[in-house]
Amino acid sequence: MIEPATQHDPAARGVTRVDPVDDALHALELFALSPLALGGVHLRGWHGPRRQALLGWLRGACASASALREAGWFLLPHHTEPDQLDPGADLAESLRQGRAVIRPGLIDRFAGGVVVLQRAERMSTGLAARLAAALDEQKFALVVLDESLPDEEGPWAGLLDRLALSIDLRDESAWRALDALAALGRSPTPVPGAATRSPGLAGTQTEPRGLTELCRAAQLLGVDSMRRAAQASLLARLSVADSVRGAPRSTAAPADLFARDADLAFAIRQVLLPRATVLPPIPAPDEASADAQEPPDVQPPDTQPPDPPTPEPADTPMEAPEAQAPPDSEPADPSTLPDGASERLIEATLSALPPGLLAALASQFGSRAVASRGTGSGRQTAKGRGRARSVGARRGRPRGSERVHLLATLRAALPWQKLRNGYALQASGDADSRASMAVTAHGAVSSARLIRFHPDDLHVHRERRRRGTTTVFVVDASGSTALQRLSEAKGAVELLLADCYVRRDRVALVSFRGTGAELLLSPTRSLVAARRALTALPGGGGSPVAAGLELAARLAAQLARAGDDVSLVVLTDGRANLSRDGQPGRERAALEARRVARELVPLAVNRVLIDTSVRPEPAAQALAAALAARYLPMPFARARDIRDSIAAATR
Amino acid sequence: MSRSRPVFPFSALVGQHDMQRGLLIASVDPLVGGVLILGDRGTGKSTAVRALAAVLPPIRAVECAYRCEPRATAGLCSRCTAKSRARPTASDVPVPVVDLPLGATEDRILGALDLERLMVSGEKVYEPGLLARANRGFLYIDEVNLLEDHLVDLLIDVAASGENRIERESLSIVHPARFVLVGSGNPEEGELRPQLLDRFGLAVEVRTPQDLDQRVEVVRRREAFERDPEGFCASHAQAEQALRAKLVAARRALDRIRFDDTLLRLAAALCQQLGTDGLRGELALMRAAKAAAALDGLRTVQREHLMEVAPMALRHRLRRDPLDETDSSARVARAIAQVFGEAAG
């Protein structure tokens, strides 16, 4: 069996192994030629020679592209205040000139250029949202530098959605070639003749068949955002435009301006694949590498026979003129597309990748799936993490690390100027006048433009405090647990308490036994109170798991509203035997427990379930699954081990 | 924000029937109380809102900061109220659509003392903010569920009362701020505060189309628009014109739309069945049904209209029961089947 793709187009990029560095550089090259249309690049990886080399190269490529030469290359720090992006009053200049001077907004200053957003994972959602709106209007293009750890939340997803390209520099094997260059202090080869190249998108198009394939590929890869398919189509068209750049427009056959399979595969690799949430069944990487050139012997036999003939006509140039009829005249006709075509395209795309990269992608996909499940609506609580953010001004003198709110201070002082100036003239020399501060922008006291501040004009930034973390422990103190493991569980919790204390996290303790749940300890930072509550925790009785989790959910919701991140640690054997209304019955109780557990998922950022039974208990595992929690069986673990694994899970 | 690029035409939107219908209903009758669009990223939520603004007929307004209506006697700003006898000059202006960015400051939203006037003459003059600019138009908040709490608090009061009341920085100002609140967001990223949720008359859900043809069509039109915005808009100009005419006619007819007693009773039964809090759900349901009938060019509300708008008007007002997993849309659908089924049988 001959591999279908080779049969149609032997020169297709998608078939011969693609060097990931070349491939990515080609995408970046196209980005440099048409940055605004592609939106931007999501660049993952830490600062280092590799990233520097790539950025240096990209900057060079952008600078040599004619459209960008004047527009420029800008850096934007992650702590930029969102209101700087739009025009606003320039305080210093206004004071100096004695009239309101409006400073231009950063967005206008960046117009048409490429903006490098540094440490984007630390930026506030407000900044990200404003940038995203600017991208929608194609004001500039963004290179988003993302240094987040694998299990950490990256930059705001709404912003990333608008960036067509994504490059992951953390993959060691893929970037070796670039490293070698970087070590020599060199950059990759510059784009040849970029200055004279124009993106020339005008004549190019992704005809209906290609568009259908891209959309289908997006569907198969679980890429839901409609922006992605549009971006992929755009990249395919740029790739076509670029490939015919050598030939003068007039000699390029019209068919050359259609995206070919190779362009589509390239677009899938660079736009869709990095965002895949599902990997369709593909030849195992090992088989692919063993089979030096022709991997897909493992294709499902039923899709193969109808495949080759149908897509062929669209590929061959002689059919193309017909398809070149007015671009918007006819919608895609999916009936011409056999079901297997897109699968085949993806398969070809995947098998073109080096095996190592594929494995990395698969594992990356795995970790991302877990991460996204883990964060869920925790995302909201994590916004603006880290730094205190200004949320307005309040009257008062700056204390400690508080900052003076210049605008508000000025607003408070200005209405009084007439009065104060008159007063100051009368009482010059008085001790009173020295109490009021007189300032000009030059620092010199001149009677012409003088603003007199009184101490009570002072306003400071009202800051929202850094979000804290509260760990909520839910301890099962029912008979089944109490007998076996309660003391061990207590030991583990005590160690965890100590950790929380060190981090200045707050802890809360919920326990359930007998017929209900109780809040043993409201959120506190007091280690002593926590320890006392824990020691006094009695054991025995029924196991109303649902009631315990419900109380925890109420508490977690309350904490989330107050702006805390919640970590949840549940210690139980999961064997619920009392439903919430106090009725005994295992089945109903377990069902209820799992339902409440699902409700809890969005409320806590981290969730851990420690199975306290003697050997791993299916009921506890089911509960952990419902809770989407990390499951840790305690049987063989000592308190310290549990502490360590929880610390790793909730870090 | 100035928009030099042409806007994607509303009539060229593909699918997302609920969202389109919800936006049109809210613009036929602003008293319905705005639309909340919840759904996946990249489903064209923002595109639809901007497109709607472009299709709306211009409004007649006095030249003041709040675009007061020239012939109105109530709901005017203080200046226009004082001058109401003078009949000031008025002109046609496009319906304002004001973006409220997530990172906005309170000053920018509410308005604050005008610095220039302060510095030059020491006069305390109020400089209107985003709420003033949105008067008689739309206030659009993308990612509304990520809005900081202190900003949500500002909105909640204004959206309910239709006026912005400022008592700060020794300012004491009231100005009209009647706008249709349109919010969009991805519910997975965070829940909306119930108080703000209640301010939205309608809530519609959008999903990425799972139908391949529809997906292809979305991308195809987007690309055609990107390639030649002017040409694309020109080719849809007729459809836009027709839509505008339909909106104008629906607005004019709105007051004359009749609501049968039987249908009123059905609406009440539906709300009762769902246990929605308060009367607001019922009001939104009835107003939306009327607007839907007006859009269809009818004089009386039909059962179909009630059934159509019930999910949008009620789904965000259900009391949440942590133990009931069925999502609110399904619960509304069940109640509709029950109430309307009974009525039929």
The structural domains of chain A, ordered by start, are 17-199 (3.40.50.300), 203-284+332-371 (no CATH), 393-463 (no CATH), 469-650 (3.40.50.410)
Is A481 or B185 the better-scoring residue by pLDDT?
B185
Q: How far apart are CA A232 and CA A166, in angstroms?
A: 12
The model's confidence at residue A363, banded by pLDDT at 50, 70 and 90, is very low
Interval A546-555: pLDDT, tens: 889 999 998 8
* Contacts within 8 Å (CB) and 24+ apart, B167-170: B168/B110, B169/A408, B169/A411, B169/A412, B169/B112, B169/B113, B170/A415, B170/B124
Is A65 or B216 the better-scoring residue by pLDDT?
B216
Q: Does the pLDDT value for residue A186 go beyond 50?
A: yes
Q: Which residues of B touch A95 (CB under 8 A)?
A: 119
A133, A211, A596 member nearest B99 (Cβ): A133
Is A143 or A322 the better-scoring residue by pLDDT?
A143
Q: How far apart are CA B143 and CA A129, in angstroms?
A: 8
From A645, A637, A597, select the one nearest A615 (Cα to Cα): A637
Q: Which residues of A touch B147 (CB under 8 A)?
A: none
Percent of chain A with pLDDT over 70: 60
- Which backbone phi and psi does A253 adopt, to 5 degrees? -65, 145
Same fold, B10-58+94-206 and B255-344: no
- Does B251 participate in catalysis according to the annotation? no
What's the average model confidence in pLDDT over A280-298? 42
Interval B186-200: pLDDT, tens: 776 666 777 788 889
Q: Which residues of B touch A211 (CB under 8 A)?
A: 216, 219-220, 223
Q: Does the pLDDT value for residue A208 go beyond 50?
A: yes
- Mean pLDDT of all residues in chain B? 84
Catalytic member of B280, B299, B303, B334: B280
Residue A374, pLDDT score: 30
Residue A587, pLDDT score: 85
Q: Does the pLDDT value for residue A295 go beyond 70?
A: no
The model's confidence at residue B320, banded by pLDDT at 50, 70 and 90, is low
Is A273 or B88 the better-scoring residue by pLDDT?
A273
The model's confidence at residue A301, banded by pLDDT at 50, 70 and 90, is very low
- Hey, what amino acid is at B90? A
CB B272 within 8 A of CB B164: no
> Is A192 buried (19+), middle (13-18) or exposed (0-12) by CB count in 10 A?
exposed
Residue A502, pLDDT score: 61
Q: Does the pLDDT value for residue B317 go beyond 80?
A: yes
Residue B325, pLDDT score: 44
Interval B88-147: pLDDT, tens: 677 888 888 898 888 787 888 888 877 777 776 767 788 888 999 998 889 999 888 888
Q: Which residues contact A212 (CB under 8 A, 6 or more apart)?
A: A332, A334, A337, A342, B212, B216
Tokens matching residue A516: 């209900």
Residue A412, pLDDT score: 80
Residue A524, pLDDT score: 74
Residue A357, pLDDT score: 47
Most B CBs within 10 Å, among A103, A215, A554, to test the B interface:
A215
- Sign for the CA dihedral angle at A333, A339, A340, A342 comes to positive
* Residue carrying structure tokens 């520097």: A52
* Structural Rg of chain A based on CA atoms: 31
Residue A68, pLDDT score: 60
Relative to beta strand A102-103, strand A88-89 is antiparallel
Are the beta carbons of B119 and A100 separated by less than 8 Å? Answer: yes
Q: How far apart are CA A397 and CA B322, in angstroms?
A: 47
Q: Which residues of A touch B145 (CB under 8 A)?
A: 380
CA A613 and chain centroid, separation: 38
What's the average model confidence in pLDDT over A275-288? 57
Min mean pLDDT across A237-241, A353-357, A633-637 is at: A353-357
Q: How far apart are CA A622 and CA A617, in angstroms?
A: 9
Residue B21, pLDDT score: 94
CB A339 within 8 A of CB A303: yes
What's the average model confidence in pLDDT over A450-467? 74
**Cβ neighbours, 10 Å, residue B190:** 24
Residue A112, pLDDT score: 86
CA B233 and chain centroid, separation: 24
What's the average model confidence in pLDDT over B64-84? 75
CB A214 within 8 A of CB A207: no
What's the average model confidence in pLDDT over A160-186? 77
Partnered with residue A518 across adjacent β-strands are: A511
Min mean pLDDT across A587-591, A632-636, B33-37, B258-262 is at: A632-636
Assign domain B255-344 to a CATH class.
mainly alpha
A212, A227, A580 member nearest B42 (Cβ): A227
Percent of chain A with pLDDT over 90: 5
Is A3 or B65 the better-scoring residue by pLDDT?
B65
From A214, A207, A222, select the one nearest A267 (Cα to Cα): A214
CB B191 within 8 A of CB A191: no
Residue A11, pLDDT score: 41
Q: Does the pLDDT value for residue B249 go beyond 90?
A: yes
* Residue carrying structure tokens 């070590």: A183
Q: How far apart are CA A117 and CA A159, in angstroms?
A: 11
From A413, A543, A407, A567, select the one nearest A486 (Cα to Cα): A543
B41, B103, B188 member nearest A127 (Cβ): B103
Tokens matching residue A147: 């240094």
Percent of chain B with pLDDT over 70: 89
Q: What is the ipTM of this complex?
A: 0.79
Q: Which residues contact B297 (CB under 8 A, 6 or more apart)?
A: B246, B249, B250, B253
What's the average model confidence in pLDDT over A333-340? 44
Are the beta carbons of B188 and A377 separated by less than 8 Å? Answer: yes
DSSP characters over B64-113: STT---TT-SSS--HHHHHTGGG---EEEEPPPEEE--TT--HHHHHEEE
- Residue A36 DSSP SS3: helix
The model's confidence at residue A194, banded by pLDDT at 50, 70 and 90, is very low
Residue B305, pLDDT score: 92
The model's confidence at residue A327, banded by pLDDT at 50, 70 and 90, is very low
Q: How far apart are CA B173 and CA B131, in angstroms?
A: 13
Residue B29, pLDDT score: 92
The C-alpha of B190 sits at a distance from chain A's nearest C-alpha, in angstroms, of 5
Residue B293, pLDDT score: 95
Are the beta carbons of B43 and A226 separated by less than 8 Å? Answer: yes
The model's confidence at residue A202, banded by pLDDT at 50, 70 and 90, is low
Is B187 or A449 the better-scoring residue by pLDDT?
B187
Q: Does the pLDDT value for residue A329 go beyond 50?
A: no
Domain ranges of chain B: 10-58+94-206, 255-344
Q: How far apart are CA B39 and CA B187, in angstroms?
A: 7
The model's confidence at residue B239, banded by pLDDT at 50, 70 and 90, is very high
The model's confidence at residue B211, banded by pLDDT at 50, 70 and 90, is confident
Are the beta carbons of B41 and A161 separated by less than 8 Å? Answer: yes
Are the beta carbons of A224 and B42 separated by less than 8 Å? Answer: yes
> Residue A461: closest CA among chain B residues belongs to which residue?
B105
The model's confidence at residue A390, banded by pLDDT at 50, 70 and 90, is low
Is A482 or B57 the better-scoring residue by pLDDT?
B57
- Residue A76 DSSP SS3: strand
The helix or strand, by DSSP H or E, that contains position A544, with its residue range, turns out to be none
Interval B3-44: pLDDT, tens: 457 889 999 998 888 999 999 999 999 888 889 998 888 788
Is A561 or B311 the better-scoring residue by pLDDT?
B311
Across the A:B interface, residue pairs with CB atoms under 8 Å apart total: 190
Assign domain B10-58+94-206 to a CATH class.
alpha beta
CB A133 within 8 A of CB B101: yes
Give whichever of A193-197, A477-481, A638-642, B137-141 has the largest mean pLDDT: B137-141
Residue A440, pLDDT score: 44
A125, A327, A414 member nearest B119 (Cβ): A414
Kindly state the DSSP code that residue B145 receives in the 8-state scheme: G
Min mean pLDDT across A332-341, B20-29, B332-341 is at: A332-341
What's the average model confidence in pLDDT over A191-196? 48
